[in-house]
Chains A and B, each alone.
Chain A
């Protein structure tokens, strides 16, 4: 249902503006609409103009904005943790917060910078350690030599190894040794051992073949390899200790101050939003005026609140919604428990206009019936009911799926009901095993009666839509549109009666007078709906015939179920038969979930809603603050 809205005018002394805005935002029920107050109108006082903040207010806003930015930077730097929010009232201590936030920002920034630098150093040390630890066993294999120089290389592509080895041996005239090992990422690390006089030549060779030398921090360079590894381990441990102590300091600060700053940031956001909200207000020298919308049911509540808080200084007045305002009225939908889950389907459409209808109750009423009419099988209905119960109970944390479960649950009831009428339980399995017979019609055989039935359903549905359209048009003084739709209804009924009288002559149904009435009404239709009105009439018949899909898709479903049973029976083995029939029934059920949903919705969206629904409404978006 579309909630009834009220156009309201809130007036009060300028000094109470911020407090009024705070109250309205806190309640979260008011949507300001500055365009409602047309300053060019004669009945609007000339002294009224858009509200402009004075110098003090502007200074205060700028101060709050700066503080908010600093606090946000600080919160970004604090470690992410879900903690409590302080109950502090920031306004009395705002100067202290300003001073503290500056100090904390500087301290936290330097701690975070230190953490980053130390993190990088730890990463580098860990890589070095991994590298040199791998080379340690290689070092053990090298011959003892007092004049030996060692350096490491990383060989990204193992296929480059022979070329590198050749180059090194050539440049050093065979006075070097390269030993390699594979590291985690698949590349090779190599230890080059040579005498000190050749080392520089080999470094030049490495540059030429673009194989990087793995350089150690200066302090480790002169050390023998086993000492290098031990020193690296020691240094890594020291750095990790330092890193931990900085982290602990940051966490202590965060635990102590984060809740305070979170609260302060929320308060500042709220306060700045109030300044932003003043743009929606108008003012004279002493008073302010805000126009907007709220649910009609909320008007007395807010009126009472304003009276209690401001003791009559701020007044709320409900204004009449004029014809010219209708297009501006924001739309909010609220449906009873039964219809609410069907909003998942109405949300696929744009919002209806305030003067139109909420499509949800119509979908809620007719969609399950059409679904049941199409699928119509007790067995499938039972399976869908279990699936729906599972979705509704177990998926309560995912509202869309939970609502889909509820919708399927209602659709399953109608599926079972129509299953009884059609005498179907997993196709003809009910007839074979339980001697189940249709209570009304065997749709697999009675094609013509079924077609007539679904066309009758379509006729009633489309005519109901046309009548709703006529009522809606007449209610909003669109007489021509209303007459057009009413004449359309009459013509549809007359043409159908004429068709019945012509093809199935009845003594009580004379076709002559019907033809005369059609001939009289056609010009009226053209006069009310324009030259394209006859085309619209033809389209309406197309819409009605479209309901044959209920029979067509239902027929394919029941035939597939019968085929599943027959194929299962043909296997001659109980287990194989159950398996074959089960797979085919599963496939049919999958189609049976999808096709009736899509076609049921299509019949609503295209055939039914096009007759009366006026889409393109504005969403009701009240001012509101999130709970802290």
Chain B
């Protein structure tokens, strides 16, 4: 049973930030697409902005790995 709890905790640790990242990226992506239509020279900045929330899911992944491995 303990294994189930550990797996569930790991899944939550990576799943919730993944949802949060997806939500943030959807908002930034939509705004970024609008921006690019008017100012294509901001491509680099938009890529950076879209990529920033990914840190959340990466941190979630780290926590999930720690839960599973330690």
Contacts and interface: CB of A to CB of B under 8 A. Distances in A.
Interface string B17-59: 0000000000000000000000000011001100110110011
A327 B55 CA distance: 34
A349 interface: yes
A399 B43 CA distance: 19
A546 B69 contact: no
A348 B62 contact: no
A594 to B, nearest CB: 12
A601 B47 contact: yes
A390 interface: no
Contacts of B44: 348-350, 605
A545 B62 contact: yes
A583 B61 CA distance: 28
Contacts of B51: 598-599, 602, 605-606
Question: Is chain A's interface secondary structure helix, strand, loop, or mixed overall?
Answer: helix
A348 to B, nearest CB: 3
Contacts, number: 42
A605 B58 CA distance: 17
A451 B65 contact: yes
Kindly state the interface size class of chain A when it binds its partner: 10 to 19
Given A545-B62, A548-B61, A348 B54 contact: no
Interface in A597-615: 598-599, 601-602, 605-606
A188 to B, nearest CB: 45
B55 A348 contact: no
Interface in A534-576: 542, 545-546, 548-549, 552
A447 B65 contact: yes
Nearest to A550: B58
Given A447-B69, A448-B69, A542-B55, A548 B47 contact: no
Given A348-B43, A448-B69, A451-B65, A546 B58 contact: yes
A11 to B, nearest CB: 38
A606 B58 CA distance: 15
Interface of B: 43-44, 47-48, 51-52, 54-55, 58-59, 61-62, 65, 69
13 contacts: A348-B43, A348-B44, A350-B44, A448-B65, A545-B62, A548-B58, A552-B58, A552-B61, A599-B51, A599-B54, A605-B47, A605-B48, A606-B51
